Amino acid sequence: MAKAERGPRERMVFSAAQLIRRDGVASTGMREVAVTAAAPRGSLQHYFPGGKTQLVDEAVGWAGRYAADRVARFLASLPEPTPSGLFAAMVRQWTDEYEAAGFAGGCPVAAATVDCAESVPSTRKAASAAFATWTGAVARALTGMGVPEERTGALATLMISSLEGAILLARADQDVRALTTVARELGPVLDAAVRKPDGSPAGGHTGAG
Amino acid sequence: MAKAERGPRERMVFSAAQLIRRDGVASTGMREVAVTAAAPRGSLQHYFPGGKTQLVDEAVGWAGRYAADRVARFLASLPEPTPSGLFAAMVRQWTDEYEAAGFAGGCPVAAATVDCAESVPSTRKAASAAFATWTGAVARALTGMGVPEERTGALATLMISSLEGAILLARADQDVRALTTVARELGPVLDAAVRKPDGSPAGGHTGAG
DNA sequence: CGGCTACTATGACCGCTGTCATAGCCGAGG
DNA sequence: CCTCGGCTATGACAGCGGTCATAGTAGCCG
């Protein structure tokens, strides 16, 4: 989890995301965020006059951008990009973390959704935007791999849904099996959507009605 | 959400599950549970001497059994059971609720996982058990539809992961699109795993290493 | 009637939360 | 020197959380 360590403000947003990932939004205290970020408590109300809501919203937005960046990075690192390869890389990020550092954290956007979707409208919107950012990045990546445009959105949604759900299962079970399972099962399905050079129909419906 | 309304104890567990579904574990107060269940506050410490943890754990367990029961019920209600039909029914339960009553609630087991996986070991185990109960019911249903035994577990995991993730997306977006998308995309994949009467290989790997 | 058990009913306690208010530091600018 | 603004630093406050302690009720048994 390399970070630039720039200003105290960024550190606080980052720390908030980390704590939310672990304990959920409600159980994450402002004081705790300040301590974790090695930032003075007084800076909280200085940088986030909107209070906890603003801090959480920014943490969620940060997480969305971070996830989208990772997708771009995966794409660049894959020698021969395929949908299954991208999905495997996304999943591997989680299995690697869980095997190296334990099952302490989940997805902060998921946590914000669970804790705030009904009670804090702005956070719900922030979560929706974060998911959209992430899904958009995945969909663009799929387009670049030859997946027909009318399929990229649906497949990106499928990938992220499966990943998010598998993260939940893995964390509950303290076992990465759910993650490896969805990667293995979905891989061939995703690759089947790639438009073949011979112009074959590219398995799956192309936009059912 | 028909319920038997039996004893006050059951009502409290049920109400706890409902509130956790909506606001998460941390934001759900014991007093609130008692009020919602129309139960006396004093009964909380009488029936749940283990405190909030015990109540939450039981609510999670209840949710797991409820989900498994639903799977069995779906199975009985489908004239010609297919994996895609089962998955569509599971998804439809959520789209129906969201369209009828709004996006107020998610899955209580997911909420418990997000809020307590790291901080409350017993709740994490309860969530794991609930997912296992649910996954087991789905896997058994798939077996009854002719899916090879060595595939049912993985497919059940895939179904539940996708469903849970899609619930998150739907709630964040306040739009059932994610749910309908995963149902549409996964349907054919699931049906392809059914062992055909002619003994064809039943698409997909049969148990990779 | 007394005694016992199951359950109900309140009130108090302590800890923690987010937020507000106030005051202090400190470099820049005049 | 003083002033000002960005930032820091604490302290206090009101509210709510779960939990404990205690007392009350209802019903059954003898």
Q: What is the pLDDT of residues B17-73, one digit of tens each?
A: 999 999 999 999 999 999 999 998 989 999 999 999 999 999 999 999 999 999 999
Q: Which of the four pLDDT bands, split at 50, 70 and 90, describes residue B79?
A: confident
Partner-chain residue, chosen from B118, B177, B204, that has the shortest CB–CB distance to A23: B118
Mutate to test the interface with A, among B114, B158, B206 (most CBs of A within 10 A): B114
d(CA B206, nearest CA chain A) in Å: 11
By Cβ distance, the residue of A114, A164, A184 closest to B111 is: A114
**Residue B155 domain-assigned (yes or no):** yes
**Contact yes or no for B172 and A109 at CB 8 A:** yes
Residues of B in contact with A202 (CB under 8 A): none
Distance B51 CA to D19 C1' (A): 8
- Per CB-CB distance under 8 Å, the chain A contacts of B105 are 118
- Phi and psi for B207 in degrees, rounded to 5? 145, 65
Q: Is the C-beta of residue B153 closer than 7 Å to nucleic acid chain C? A: no
User: How many Cα neighbours within 13 Å face the side chain of B99?
Assistant: 10
Report whether pLDDT(A5) > 80.
Answer: no
Nearest CA in chain A to B21: A114
Q: Which residues contact A145 (CB under 8 A, 6 or more apart)?
A: A81, A82, A83, A86, A194
Q: What is the pLDDT of residue A128?
A: 98
Give me the residues near strand D, CB below 7 A. A 8, 39-43, 45-46; B 28-32, 42, 44-45, 51-53
Q: CA-CA distance, B127 to B117, in Å (whole number)? A: 8
In whole angstroms, give the CA distance from residue A85 to residue A187: 8
Give the model's confidence band at B208: pLDDT under 50 very low, under 70 low, under 90 confident, else very high. Answer: very low
Alpha helices per DSSP H over B78-145: 83-101, 108-116, 121-144
Mean local confidence (pLDDT), A84-93: 96
Separation in Å, CA of A125 to nearest CA in chain B? 7
Task: Report the distance from CA of residue B5 to the C1' of nucleotide D24 in Å, as an integer.
Answer: 27
Average pLDDT of the segment spanning B118-136: 97
Query: CB pairs under 8 A, 24+ apart, for B15-19?
Result: B15/B39, B16/B55, B16/B56, B16/B58, B16/B59, B17/B59, B17/B60, B17/B62, B17/B63, B17/B108, B18/B105, B18/B108
* A165–B163 CB contact, under 8 Å: yes
What pLDDT was estimated at residue B5? 60
Q: Which of A100-114, A116-130, B36-50 has the lowest mean pLDDT?
A: B36-50
Q: pLDDT band at A78, cuts 50/70/90? A: confident
Which percentage of chain A shows pLDDT scores above 90? 83
* Whether residue A110 has pLDDT greater than 50: yes
CATH of the domain at B152: 1.10.357.10
| Number of domains observed in the structure of chain B | 1
Q: Find which of A31-45, A135-149, B188-202 is predicted with most confidence, using mean pLDDT.
A: A135-149
Residue B75 lies in a domain: yes
Nearest to B24 among A114, A186, A189 (CB): A114
Q: Taking 90 as the threshold, does the pLDDT of residue A198 lie above it? A: no
The whole-number pLDDT of residue B198 equals 55
A20-24, A143-147, B100-104, B202-206: range with lowest mean pLDDT: B202-206
Tokens of A6: 């720039």
Residue A86 forms part of a structural domain? yes
- Is residue B44 domain-resident? no
What is the C-alpha to C-alpha distance for residues B50 and B107, in angstroms, rounded to an integer? Answer: 23
Specify if A21 maps to a domain.
no
Contact partners, residue A55, CB within 8 Å, separation at least 6: A12, A13, A16, A30, A33, A44, A48
Cβ–Cβ < 8 Å for B63, A172: no
Q: By CA distance, what is B23's nearest residue in A? A: A115
Q: How far is the CA of A54 from the C1' of D10 (A)?
A: 23
Whether residue B35 lies inside any domain: the answer is no
Rounded to whole angstroms, the Cα distance separating A146 from B117 reads: 39
Instruction: Give the number of other CB atoms < 10 A from CB of residue B19.
Output: 23
* Total beta-carbon pairs less than 8 A apart between chain A and chain B: 175
| pLDDT number for residue B197 | 60
Average pLDDT over residues A35-43: 90
Hey, what are B73's tokens? Answer: 């019920």
- pLDDT greater than 60 at residue A1: no
- Residue A133 maps to a domain: yes
Q: Which bases of chain C come closer than 7 Å to a protein CB?
A: 7-11, 16-23
Supply the range of the domain harboring residue A59: 52-191
How distant is C1' of C24 from CA of A193, in Å? 64
Q: What integer best gives the mean pLDDT of chain B?
A: 91
**pLDDT at residue B1 in the model:** 43
Residue B73 falls within a domain, yes or no? yes
Which residues of A are less than 8 Å from B133 in CB distance?
Answer: none
Structure confidence by residue, pLDDT tens digits, B186-203 = 999 999 998 776 545 554
Interface test with B, best of A119, A169, A176, A189 (most B CBs within 10 A): A169
**Protein CA at B67 to nucleotide C1' at C5, angstroms:** 37
